Amino acid sequence: MTVAIYSRGLEDDLQVQLLMLLQELSRQNITILLYKALADQNPVLFEHGFDLNIFEGSADLNKSIDCLISLGGDGTILDTVTLVRNKNIPILGINFGRLGFLAGIGKEELTSAVDALVNGTFVIDKRTLVHLDASIPLFGDSPFALNEFAIHKRDISPMIKIHTYLNGEFLNTYWADGLIVSTPTGSTGYSMSCNGPIVFPESSSFLITPVAPHNLNARPIIVADSNIISFEVEGRMEQFICVLDARREIVDKSIQLAIKREQFTISLVRLNENSFLSTLRTKLTWGLDKRN
């Protein structure tokens, strides 16, 4: 078995967990690929005699890798999506962050997570992505996102008008600070913070959620992800912000944009006891009386 490990970087108090993870993987005779920036941050790891291989980017990953372990929060998992792409490498998120809807395995569960990988006692959740088509190349070779696509006004500009179409048919014009098109996975992210609904990951849908709409009758809407959603943007400023997950580009308002479902999916590793419902109850404290 071969496992890759990725992280944006770890605080000093989390180095012990990284060391424990490497020890557990080595004990199970698992081949380890460590992200170069993480290895450079922790040169002391090489003093422990681990057989570590290094990878720098997506080109170094192939389908022989059984799992990619993400150490961090949900933002770190979004990074790994641009590394894994269409290679169908399962991603296991260890939550070293805060809320963690995607990175649902706590750092205290490192040993049980490795045991689950070795014994095959885990569940694979297939998550859909959103794909961006534009009249000019945007976001390099990663024009896709696990959580959401968003259009947003620039910091200094007034609200913008976003004319939105479903399969070429006019849907609505949003006078707003922005507009979010999220996947079911992204329904617990930016969209939720803008009062968008929460939908189950297996729902074949897109969520269209306005950001600070000027018209109060502009409500979030759910559509089938078989639709192609296109946009025309108007505003006093010549440019606006285009976002895929945590990545952003400044775009001229003359650029044509369209969103559709990506052809490939992302595989997230889940321990059997960690269902979407249990995650919602834990993270949002549903069913608990907080008044006392």
Same-domain pairing of 217 and 272: no
CB neighbour list of residue 10: distance below 8 Å, 6 or more residues apart = 17, 18, 38, 41, 42, 71, 72, 96
- For the annotated catalytic residues, the residue numbers are 74
What would the pLDDT profile of 60-78 be if each residue is shown by its tens digit? 998 889 999 999 888 999 9
Same-domain pairing of 167 and 195: yes
Same-domain pairing of 134 and 250: yes
What would the pLDDT profile of 158-207 be if each residue is shown by its tens digit? 899 999 999 999 999 999 999 999 999 999 999 999 999 999 999 999 99
Whether the CB-CB separation of 146 and 265 falls below 8 Å is answered with no
Asked whether residue 290 is domain-assigned, the answer is no
pLDDT at 102: 83
Same-domain pairing of 29 and 74: yes
Mean pLDDT over 75-92 rounds to 94
Asked whether residue 194 is domain-assigned, the answer is yes
Closest CA relative to residue 184, chosen from 212, 157, 203: 203
pTM score of the predicted model: 0.90
Residue matched to tokens 């559709």: 260
Same-domain pairing of 56 and 160: no
Residue 99 — pLDDT band, cuts 50, 70, 90?
low
Same-domain pairing of 179 and 278: no
Same-domain pairing of 163 and 269: no
Residue 230 — pLDDT band, cuts 50, 70, 90?
very high
pLDDT at 273: 67
Residue matched to tokens 């399962």: 90
Q: What is the CATH number of the domain that holds 87?
A: 3.40.50.10330
Asked whether residue 62 is domain-assigned, the answer is yes
C-beta atoms surrounding 209 within 10 Å: 30
CB neighbour list of residue 80: distance below 8 Å, 6 or more residues apart = 6, 68, 70, 91
